[in-house]
Structures are given as C-alpha cells and as structure tokens.
Structure 1
Amino acid sequence: MHMSECCEVSNTNRSAEHCPGCKSRGKSVGLLTLKSLLVPYALEQLETSLSYFFCGTSECTVIYFNERNVFRQDDIKVPCRCAVIMSPCNCSEIMSLWDRRH
C-alpha cells in the first residue's frame, strides 16, 4: 500500500470540517490512518463512508472527528499530540515511533 492511499479521503462534508471541541478547522485524514491508530473498541465506531478530520490544536481533547464521531486520546494507540509536529497522514512514522518507545 502506498502512502498516497494512506492519505486518501472519502467524500467530504464541508460543514463537518470544524472540530466539535475547539471549533478550529481540521485537516482531512485518510481511513488507513484511523484504522492504524484507533484501539479496537474505537474501530467498531468507525464509519468508513464518512470523511474524518484531525484536530491539531494542542489544548483540545479531540484528536479525530467528523459529524457523527469524536475520537480522543483514549481511543488512540499512541500519544497523539506528537502528531501535531507531523502530518496526520504519517501513520507508518507514528507507529514506528510508538514501537521504538514500547
């Protein structure tokens, strides 16, 4: 699988681009990123027909979101605020960082 596939985004609902926590505009994130980073119980809530967004605001508790779902740190396998420094599409780099720490 290529990195471009990691970053592919499904149909976007523009009204859902703003974080429900801090109201800042999120960055589109591909489903592969979410499938790689969400813990099992959060994966069960993942709706693959919807677009998802990443909130990079360090003070906000929301990490990924759309119009129906919100995923917070407890829903993510890695400490996700490190992703603020990286692109939210670098799922392989984030998982590599996590593997080195644990």
Structure 2
Amino acid sequence: MDLEELRRRALRVHDLYDELNLQEHGRVWTREEFMLGFMGDAGDLAKLILAQEGVRSDRPDSRAALEHELADCLWSVLILAHRYGIDLESAFVRTMEDLEKSISARLDR
C-alpha cells in the first residue's frame, strides 16, 4: 500500500468516526481534538516502547500492541495533514532533503 492508499483508507475511517460522533455526541471532532487524540496515542506509544525495552512493566509489551499504537499515530498524522490541507508526501520529501543536507554538512566539518 502506498501513501495515497493509506491516506484514502485513513479518510474512510475518519468519515466513519465523524458519523459515529454525530450519532453519539451530535458533533464531529475539531482539529484540536484530533491533535489531542494524537498526543494520547503518542503517550501510549511511548509507554509501549518503554515496556519493550524493559523500563516499564505495567504495560503490555506485546508486539501487537506496539503495532496498533504505531498505526494509530500514523492515522492521526494522515488525518491532521488532511485537515490542514498539507500534501504530506511533498512535505516529507522536502523535509528529508533538508535534513540530509543539514546532517551531511555537519558530518563534513
């Protein structure tokens, strides 16, 4: 699956969440609420990474839980990019090019 296919799949789930939230709460999530959801997922991911490394024992350290949280975080990033009208593929390419140049210049010193 390429990035565009991932984006389309993420948007289908986003639309389902909108439908569910309208049904259950009478409104959809704002961009700010999506960001807060992402922060919660990132926190859960951090705890799972710590469990994987043996630093925490109060969280499940299963590979499935880690995969799930990584996928949740990717979903959130794809949705936030969509909600802010960002071409994530182009932004990623530009950012990686900038980082490669910056890091290479520092290594050449």
Same fold (TM over 0.5): no
> Higher strand fraction: Structure 1 or Structure 2?
1
In the superposition, the TM-score normalised over structure 1's length comes to 0.31
TM-score (norm 2): 0.30
Highest CA radius of gyration, 1 or 2?
2
